[in-house]
């Protein structure tokens, strides 16, 4: 049912009898499946409990997040390394396909509300470990050229327009003689206090320039024809774009969860198939060839059982149709196996968990 429902990946959490938490990331419908051991984790409620102003439960989850991956590929990796180069490419492809691609030229900036960070821990030596740190943040923005008092006044104005306004969130101006005493800051009360003119050093790394929303007047056909012959239109549009540029301060607020997970094995198929890579167990080329022969034999046996089961279903269906014609009674539909999936009749399947392939 993954195809009709539009499900492309399955993330399955489980806990073993010894208390270890495992994660399986499977690409539907034909795999592969990546097995991870979750070494450390923190739930979303644990992350929000230590925050002063937690976020979550809003419109952040209506759009897919921005995926940022770091350190998944190493330049010195080869096909004979303990973590081979094709395994790094496979992990990159699986995680990249979790979310739809983002086109920077056509995607609206307001739709990017979250970011998912996946960072691989680089080990000093080639010890064969593939460890990933999982972090999840919400992206918040605010104007960079406005002062804190002005932002509080804007927030208070929005609260006054709502029915559930709280006076505790509004600035207290009862002890001031003039609004200028609240707005003016700096040394000796001179100057307009902003994030750029305050005593603290500005953090320019968290500031970005975006093109603000512009409203253009719809002109008539004659006006458009007259404007088409005007050579100064391009200069005017460029000047308007420069005026619409807005500086925003970007801040990340963690949503959770946090995870530190280690890749243990990769197998073919959807949670069932031969092992393509294992963290601890490695096979020689001769052992790999023997396992391939055994696996091919099992596949042939499964196909033979499937053909036999399909023939039995057709034979029972023909016998039932013949009995209906002789008796002239429709009977019941308990013996009709025509709508049954033949794959469901095969109870044995392929058990590939015990056969491990590696280098």
Residues 30-59: tens digit of each pLDDT = 889 999 999 999 999 999 999 888 887 778
Q: Looking at residue 234, what is its pLDDT?
A: 53
- Please choose, from the candidates 118, 124, 26, 38, the residue with its C-alpha nearest in 3D space to the C-alpha of residue 72: 118
- The stretch 211-240 carries a mean pLDDT of 58
Q: Say which residue, 337 or 34, is predicted with more confidence.
A: 34
- Please choose, from the candidates 57, 12, 38, the residue with its C-alpha nearest in 3D space to the C-alpha of residue 255: 57
Query: pTM value?
Result: 0.65
| Most trustworthy range by pLDDT among 199-208, 237-246, 281-290, 310-319 | 310-319
List of residues 6+ apart from 38 with CB closer than 8 A: 13, 20, 21, 22, 23, 259, 260, 261
Position 262 pLDDT exceeds 90: yes
- The stretch 142-170 carries a mean pLDDT of 67
**Average pLDDT of the residues of the chain:** 76
Least confident window among 175-189, 229-243, 254-268: 229-243
Please tell me whether the peptide bond between 29 and the residue prior to it is cis, using omega within 30 degrees of 0: yes
Q: Looking at residue 339, what is its pLDDT?
A: 45
Q: Looking at residue 330, what is its pLDDT?
A: 53
Q: Looking at residue 92, what is its pLDDT?
A: 94
Q: Looking at residue 76, what is its pLDDT?
A: 86
Label residue 133 exposed, middle or buried (CB < 10 Å: 0-12, 13-18, 19+): middle
Provide the residue count of the chain: 359
Position 114 pLDDT exceeds 90: yes
List of residues 6+ apart from 63 with CB closer than 8 A: 111, 112, 113, 114
Q: Looking at residue 329, what is its pLDDT?
A: 55
Rounded Cα gap, residues 280 and 228, in angstroms = 71
Position 277 pLDDT exceeds 50: yes
- Band of pLDDT at residue 254, cut at 50, 70 and 90: very high
199: tokens are 């005593």
């Amino acid at each position: 049912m993954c195809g009709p429902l539009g499900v492309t990946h399955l993330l399955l959490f489980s806990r073993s009898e010894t208390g270890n938490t495992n994660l399986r990331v499977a690409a539907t419908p034909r795999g592969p499946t990546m097995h991870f051991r979750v070494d450390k984790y923190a739930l979303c409620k644990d992350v929000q409990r230590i925050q002063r102003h937690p976020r979550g439960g809003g419109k952040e989850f209506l759009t897919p997040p921005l995926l940022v991956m770091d350190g998944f590929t190493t330049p010195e990796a080869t096909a004979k390394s303990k973590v081979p180069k094709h395994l790094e490419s496979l992990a990159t492809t699986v995680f990249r396909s979790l979310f739809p691609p983002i086109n920077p030229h056509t995607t609206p900036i307001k739709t990017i509300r979250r970011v998912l960070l996946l960072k691989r821990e680089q080990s000093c030596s080639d010890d064969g470990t593939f460890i990933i740190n999982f972090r999840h943040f919400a992206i918040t923005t605010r104007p960079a050229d406005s002062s804190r008092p002005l932002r509080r006044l804007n927030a208070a104005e929005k609260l006054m327009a709502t029915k559930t306004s709280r006076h505790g969130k509004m600035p207290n101006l009862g002890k001031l003689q003039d609004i200028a005493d609240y707005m003016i800051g700096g040394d000796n009360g001179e100057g307009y206090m902003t994030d750029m003119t305050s005593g603290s050093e500005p953090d320019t790394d968290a500031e970005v320039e975006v093109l603000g929303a512009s409203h253009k007047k719809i002109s008539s056909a004659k006006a458009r024809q007259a404007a088409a012959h005007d050579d100064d239109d391009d200069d005017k549009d460029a000047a308007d774009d420069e005026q619409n540029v807005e500086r925003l301060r970007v801040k990340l607020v963690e949503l959770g969860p946090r995870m530190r997970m280690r890749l243990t094995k990769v197998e073919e198929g959807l949670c069932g198939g031969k092992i393509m890579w294992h963290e601890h167990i490695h096979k020689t080329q001769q052992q790999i060839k023997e396992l391939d022969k055994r696996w091919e034999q099992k596949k042939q046996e499964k196909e033979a059982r499937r053909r036999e089961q399909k023939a039995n279903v057709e034979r029972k269906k023909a016998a039932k149709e013949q009995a209906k014609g002789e008796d002239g009674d429709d009977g019941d539909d308990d013996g009709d196996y025509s709508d049954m999936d033949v794959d469901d009749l095969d109870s044995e399947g392929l058990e590939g968990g015990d056969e491990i392939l590696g280098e």
